[in-house]
Amino acid sequence: MNGIGQANQPPAAEPSYRKAQRAVLALCMLLAPLTLSAWFGLCPPFGDVSCPSQGTTTLNAFQTTNPQVLHVFLALTLLAPYVYPVSYIGLGLLAMKRAPWLASCGIALGLAGSIPWAWIAGGQIGLTDTLAHLAPDPVFVTIEHRLAANPVVLALATGWVVGHVAGYLLLGIALARAKAISRWAAWLIAVSAVIMGPIAYGTKLGLLQVIGYAMVFAGSVPAAIAMLNPRRPDRAPAIH
């Protein structure tokens, strides 16, 4: 009788802190690709696949870009480092129960690619924006190129390029194998890695970076919905 009575009892309400955790993860899963898509779309000079880049062209672009557009771009540069790493954790948690190794490797690579973003974007963009608003001096270009060639900066940049692309590829496959979200959404995330990685850099089309992150955003919408739903333990694991 006790067993029957317990079975008929309604499930306990989820603690508020877990709801808050899920909400933060879901929000970051949406904000990260949306922010990066807009960031690459607005990065001066527009259409530059290697943004943030260096050189006279980039300095001139920062000088001539509409100030309001530049302010939006700099605001996105500030926001991205806070939401970007968390978004990989959220995507990985959804697939963790049924594809633990793929999910774990995807999170690790995603963090290796997204954590350096604060320096790759914020540091270099901050330097370029500062130099662009000073009296022109040929040494500025030399400083930028030497900074980019510094072994520490080069290692961070390599981690960014390889990590964020490989992270999306593995997490997309993990989500598809775990059936955590619709198959089309999972494959959008996986295929985006090819679009924003080898194809974008191979063709030197910055627009493909924008499209790639837009694909991640589209795939992240059902992922965020799954994260917010505590009644699907097979797809959105409880966060302790």
Q: Would you state the pLDDT for residue 6?
A: 53
At 235 the pLDDT is 45
User: pLDDT (tens digit, 0 to 9) for every residue of the chain, 240 residues total?
Assistant: 455 555 566 666 778 888 999 999 999 999 999 999 999 999 888 887 778 777 788 888 888 889 999 999 999 999 999 999 999 999 999 999 999 999 999 999 999 999 988 888 878 888 888 888 887 777 878 887 787 788 888 888 888 889 999 999 999 999 999 999 999 999 999 999 999 989 988 888 889 999 999 999 999 999 999 999 876 544 444 444
* Buried/exposed 62-85: b ≥16 CB within 10 Å, e otherwise: beebeeeebeebbebbebbbebbb
Distance of alpha carbon 96 from alpha carbon 240, whole angstroms: 14
Residues in the chain: 240
Reported as type and span, the H/E element at residue 177 is: helix 151-178
Q: Which two tokens stand for residue 57?
A: 């062209």
Say how far apart CA 40 and CA 73 lie, in whole Å. Answer: 9
Residue 9 pLDDT: 62
Q: Which of 212, 177, 220, 180 is nearest to 196 (CA)?
A: 212
Tokens of residue 35, six digits = 């922010």
Whole-number Å distance between alpha carbons of 199 and 51: 15
Place of tokens 């302010």: 71
Residue 206 Cα to chain centre, angstroms: 16
